[in-house]
Amino acid sequence: MAEENNKDKAKPAADKKETAKPAAKAAKAKKEKPPKLEDKPFSEFIQEHYLPTLKEAIKAEGIEDVDLSFVQQGVPIEGANQNEPCWQVVGKWQGGDRSFNIYFPEGDIKGQKAFSYATYGNTPSTLESFMIDERRVNLELLVMYTIQRLNAQKWLARN
Protein backbone atom coordinates (compact mmCIF):
# COMPACT_ATOMS: atom_id res chain seq x y z
CA MET A 1 0.00 0.00 0.00
CA ALA A 2 2.80 2.35 0.74
CA GLU A 3 4.05 1.75 -2.78
CA GLU A 4 0.65 2.67 -4.22
CA ASN A 5 0.61 5.92 -2.25
CA ASN A 6 4.11 6.78 -3.51
CA LYS A 7 3.03 6.09 -7.10
CA ASP A 8 -0.01 8.31 -6.68
CA LYS A 9 2.14 11.08 -5.22
CA ALA A 10 4.62 10.78 -8.07
CA LYS A 11 1.97 11.16 -10.75
CA PRO A 12 0.76 14.62 -9.70
CA ALA A 13 4.35 15.86 -9.58
CA ALA A 14 4.88 14.66 -13.15
CA ASP A 15 1.62 16.30 -14.16
CA LYS A 16 2.80 19.57 -12.59
CA LYS A 17 6.03 19.44 -14.57
CA GLU A 18 4.14 18.84 -17.80
CA THR A 19 1.83 21.79 -17.12
CA ALA A 20 4.77 23.96 -16.14
CA LYS A 21 6.50 23.41 -19.48
CA PRO A 22 3.72 24.95 -21.63
CA ALA A 23 3.46 27.84 -19.18
CA ALA A 24 7.21 28.44 -19.48
CA LYS A 25 6.96 28.31 -23.28
CA ALA A 26 4.09 30.80 -23.19
CA ALA A 27 6.15 33.14 -21.00
CA LYS A 28 9.05 32.89 -23.44
CA ALA A 29 6.73 33.66 -26.33
CA LYS A 30 5.49 36.77 -24.54
CA LYS A 31 9.06 37.96 -23.89
CA GLU A 32 10.03 37.81 -27.58
CA LYS A 33 10.02 41.35 -28.89
CA PRO A 34 9.06 42.24 -32.43
CA PRO A 35 12.02 43.18 -34.62
CA LYS A 36 13.12 46.80 -34.40
CA LEU A 37 12.05 49.07 -37.23
CA GLU A 38 15.70 49.67 -38.04
CA ASP A 39 16.24 45.93 -38.63
CA LYS A 40 13.71 45.86 -41.45
CA PRO A 41 15.01 45.77 -45.02
CA PHE A 42 16.47 49.15 -46.00
CA SER A 43 13.93 50.00 -48.70
CA GLU A 44 10.98 48.98 -46.52
CA PHE A 45 12.26 51.03 -43.56
CA ILE A 46 12.75 54.16 -45.68
CA GLN A 47 9.45 53.97 -47.57
CA GLU A 48 7.15 52.78 -44.80
CA HIS A 49 8.64 54.50 -41.76
CA TYR A 50 11.22 57.20 -42.47
CA LEU A 51 9.46 59.10 -45.27
CA PRO A 52 6.04 59.34 -43.53
CA THR A 53 7.61 60.27 -40.19
CA LEU A 54 9.89 62.87 -41.80
CA LYS A 55 6.97 64.35 -43.73
CA GLU A 56 4.98 64.75 -40.51
CA ALA A 57 7.99 66.33 -38.76
CA ILE A 58 8.47 68.83 -41.60
CA LYS A 59 4.74 69.63 -41.57
CA ALA A 60 4.99 70.23 -37.82
CA GLU A 61 7.62 72.88 -38.65
CA GLY A 62 5.09 74.67 -40.87
CA ILE A 63 6.06 73.34 -44.33
CA GLU A 64 2.88 71.98 -45.92
CA ASP A 65 3.93 71.39 -49.53
CA VAL A 66 6.90 69.07 -49.00
CA ASP A 67 7.35 66.32 -51.55
CA LEU A 68 9.55 63.40 -50.46
CA SER A 69 10.72 60.58 -52.68
CA PHE A 70 13.06 57.62 -52.43
CA VAL A 71 15.12 57.01 -55.57
CA GLN A 72 18.24 55.28 -56.75
CA GLN A 73 20.18 57.57 -59.04
CA GLY A 74 23.58 59.14 -59.54
CA VAL A 75 24.80 61.80 -57.13
CA PRO A 76 23.93 65.17 -58.75
CA ILE A 77 27.12 66.94 -57.67
CA GLU A 78 29.91 68.00 -60.00
CA GLY A 79 32.85 65.64 -59.67
CA ALA A 80 30.75 62.73 -58.40
CA ASN A 81 30.33 59.65 -60.56
CA GLN A 82 26.82 60.19 -61.84
CA ASN A 83 26.78 56.77 -63.49
CA GLU A 84 27.07 55.02 -60.14
CA PRO A 85 23.56 54.81 -58.61
CA CYS A 86 23.09 55.68 -54.97
CA TRP A 87 19.95 55.42 -52.82
CA GLN A 88 18.65 58.87 -51.96
CA VAL A 89 15.83 60.54 -50.12
CA VAL A 90 14.93 63.63 -52.11
CA GLY A 91 12.87 66.41 -50.56
CA LYS A 92 11.45 69.47 -52.32
CA TRP A 93 9.10 72.26 -51.42
CA GLN A 94 8.17 75.79 -52.44
CA GLY A 95 7.68 74.55 -55.98
CA GLY A 96 11.19 73.07 -56.05
CA ASP A 97 12.85 76.31 -54.87
CA ARG A 98 14.22 74.40 -51.89
CA SER A 99 15.49 70.86 -52.14
CA PHE A 100 17.69 68.47 -50.24
CA ASN A 101 19.08 64.99 -50.71
CA ILE A 102 20.16 62.46 -48.14
CA TYR A 103 22.44 59.83 -49.64
CA PHE A 104 22.82 56.21 -48.54
CA PRO A 105 25.70 54.91 -50.71
CA GLU A 106 25.78 51.54 -48.95
CA GLY A 107 21.99 51.04 -49.02
CA ASP A 108 21.94 50.79 -45.23
CA ILE A 109 20.84 53.31 -42.59
CA LYS A 110 23.74 52.23 -40.40
CA GLY A 111 26.28 52.85 -43.18
CA GLN A 112 27.70 56.11 -44.46
CA LYS A 113 25.28 58.93 -45.12
CA ALA A 114 25.65 62.30 -46.82
CA PHE A 115 23.56 65.43 -47.28
CA SER A 116 23.25 68.12 -49.93
CA TYR A 117 20.87 70.99 -50.54
CA ALA A 118 20.07 73.41 -53.31
CA THR A 119 17.84 76.39 -53.99
CA TYR A 120 15.88 77.64 -56.99
CA GLY A 121 16.30 74.50 -59.08
CA ASN A 122 20.10 74.57 -59.07
CA THR A 123 22.13 71.42 -58.57
CA PRO A 124 23.77 70.99 -55.18
CA SER A 125 27.35 72.19 -55.01
CA THR A 126 28.59 70.44 -51.88
CA LEU A 127 28.25 66.94 -50.51
CA GLU A 128 28.39 66.98 -46.70
CA SER A 129 28.76 64.08 -44.31
CA PHE A 130 25.63 63.34 -42.31
CA MET A 131 25.31 61.66 -38.89
CA ILE A 132 28.94 60.53 -38.91
CA ASP A 133 29.37 60.40 -35.13
CA GLU A 134 26.28 58.36 -34.35
CA ARG A 135 26.95 54.80 -33.30
CA ARG A 136 23.30 53.99 -33.07
CA VAL A 137 20.89 54.97 -35.84
CA ASN A 138 17.16 54.69 -35.38
CA LEU A 139 14.09 56.31 -36.87
CA GLU A 140 13.86 59.07 -34.27
CA LEU A 141 17.51 60.09 -34.64
CA LEU A 142 17.39 60.01 -38.43
CA VAL A 143 14.34 62.31 -38.45
CA MET A 144 15.77 64.58 -35.75
CA TYR A 145 19.09 65.04 -37.56
CA THR A 146 17.32 65.74 -40.85
CA ILE A 147 15.15 68.43 -39.26
CA GLN A 148 18.18 69.84 -37.47
CA ARG A 149 20.13 69.99 -40.75
CA LEU A 150 17.27 71.70 -42.60
CA ASN A 151 16.92 74.16 -39.75
CA ALA A 152 20.64 74.94 -40.00
CA GLN A 153 19.84 76.40 -43.45
CA LYS A 154 17.19 78.52 -41.72
CA TRP A 155 14.62 76.89 -43.97
CA LEU A 156 12.25 75.84 -41.20
CA ALA A 157 12.36 78.57 -38.57
CA ARG A 158 13.82 82.02 -38.31
CA ASN A 159 16.54 82.52 -35.71
- For the chain, which residues make up each domain, given as ranges? 40-152
Closest by CA to 104, choosing from 149, 61, 151, 137, is 137
> pTM for the complete prediction?
0.75
SS3 content of the chain, % helix, strand, coil (to 5): 40, 20, 40
Please name the residues in contact with 74: beta carbons below 8 A apart, sequence gap of 6 or more.
Answer: 80, 81, 82, 83, 84, 85, 86
Separation CA 10–CA 12 (nearest Å) = 6
Local mean pLDDT, 10-residue blocks, the chain (159 residues): 53 53 59 77 95 96 93 84 87 92 94 93 88 89 95 78
Q: What is the pLDDT of residues 73-118, one digit of tens each?
A: 988 887 777 778 999 999 999 988 999 999 999 999 999 999 999 9
For 142, phi then psi, to 5°, come to -60, -45
